[in-house]
Amino acid sequence: MFDLTGKKALVTGATGGLGGAIARVLHAQGASVALSGTRVEALDALAAELGERVAVTPCNLSDKDSVEALVPAAEEKLGGLDILVNNAGVTRDNLFMRLKDEDWDSVIAVNLTAAFRLSRAAVKTMMRRRHGRIISIGSIVGVTGNPGQGNYAASKAGLIGMSKALAAEVASRNITVNVVAPGFIESPMTQALNEKQREGILSDVPMGRLGAGADVAAAVAYLASDEAAYVTGQTLHVNGGMTMI
């Protein structure tokens, strides 16, 4: 089950905790993986750890030209593209009244517009191959909202709507488009929380723990697999039961 041998995957934000976990799991399932991110050294380190079947494709997702060049670069290095994981994301949190245009624009640019451009490029090659998997990493806050994250929540909700529209368009070509929506996951961001904040969060999670990157990565591996061929336009929530929708 969930064997990805011979499949070619591109993961954005691969230097982050979550992106690294996703790249590792796809690779462990047998896929060749192109690692994208801005920090070349960190990408190289992850590539060295994975060893074979790996390519490094740096990209600045705020830059249109850099984004447009990414899918062709990954295709060239891997010899095709079966799986695109739009994982990279940024936050610029502030209360709505204090949210600046730049905070809005930069979060939408990286989290949503780059995912749009990458998906558009990927779907072209996937159409020809009559097979493909596009998986975007959303967030529980894209469904529930969260104070201080108007821009981030909008970008993540945007990914869900975009994925549903694209899923409907390309289903006949055996291309599935889905979202994995994590809840609270162990990361540098959640490690920065103090004990009281942490307790507050955990009291909302029936599972009683924060999620691990591997929990999210397993959901991505499932959606990337042949076994998930009939699942499209969906949002798979990985949140320890925090929100049941």
Partner 1 sequence: MSDVAERVKKIVIEHLGVEPEKVVEGANFIEDLGADSLDTVELVMAFEEEFGVEIPDDAAETIVTVGDAVKFLSKSA
Burial zone of 13 (CB within 10 Å; 0-12 exposed, 13-18 middle, 19+ buried): buried
Task: Please report where in the chains the tokens 């806050």 appear, as a residue.
Answer: 141
Which of 175, 219 has the CB closer to partner 1? 175
Contact residue for partner 1 among 52, 101, 172, 244 (CB under 8 A):
172
The Cα 245–Cα 237 span in angstroms is 8
Contact residue for partner 1 among 64, 100, 120, 124 (CB under 8 A):
124
Q: Which two tokens stand for residue 72?
A: 């062709």
Q: Does 169 bind partner 1 (CB under 8 A)?
A: yes
Instruction: Find the catalytic residue in 25, 74, 150, 152.
Output: 152
Contact residue for partner 1 among 43, 170, 216, 238 (CB under 8 A):
170
- Mark the segment that binds partner 1 (CB under 8 A) among 58-66, 95-103, 166-174, 182-190: 166-174
**Which residues belong to the annotated binding site?**
38, 87, 152-156, 185
Side-chain-facing half-sphere of 95: CA atoms under 13 Å = 2
- To the query of whether residue 152 is one of the catalytic residues in this protein, the response is yes
Closest contact distance (angstroms) between CB of 5 and partner 1 is 28
Closest contact distance (angstroms) between CB of 83 and partner 1 is 20
**Which residues belong to the annotated binding site for NADP(+)?**
38, 87, 152-156, 185
Length of the chain in residues, anyone? 245
Contact residue for partner 1 among 131, 164, 173, 198 (CB under 8 A):
173
Identity of the amino acid at 48: A
Burial zone of 230 (CB within 10 Å; 0-12 exposed, 13-18 middle, 19+ buried): exposed
Burial per residue of 55-86, b for 16 or more beta-carbon CB atoms within 10 angstroms, e otherwise: bbbbbebeeeebbeebbebbbebbebbbbbbb
Closest contact distance (angstroms) between CB of 174 and partner 1 is 12
- Mark the segment that binds partner 1 (CB under 8 A) among 39-47, 120-128, 148-156, 224-232: 120-128
Closest contact distance (angstroms) between CB of 164 and partner 1 is 17
The Cα 231–Cα 224 span in angstroms is 10
Q: Does 127 bind partner 1 (CB under 8 A)?
A: yes
Which of 168, 189 has the CB closer to partner 1? 168
Which of 32, 119 has the CB closer to partner 1? 119
Q: Are 216 and 137 in contact (CB under 8 A)?
A: yes
Identity of the amino acid at 10: L
Give Cα separations from 87 to 56, 139, 200, 204 (angstroms).
16, 11, 27, 25
Active site residue ranges: 152
Q: Which residues bind partner 1 (CB under 8 A)?
A: 124, 127-128, 169-170, 172-173
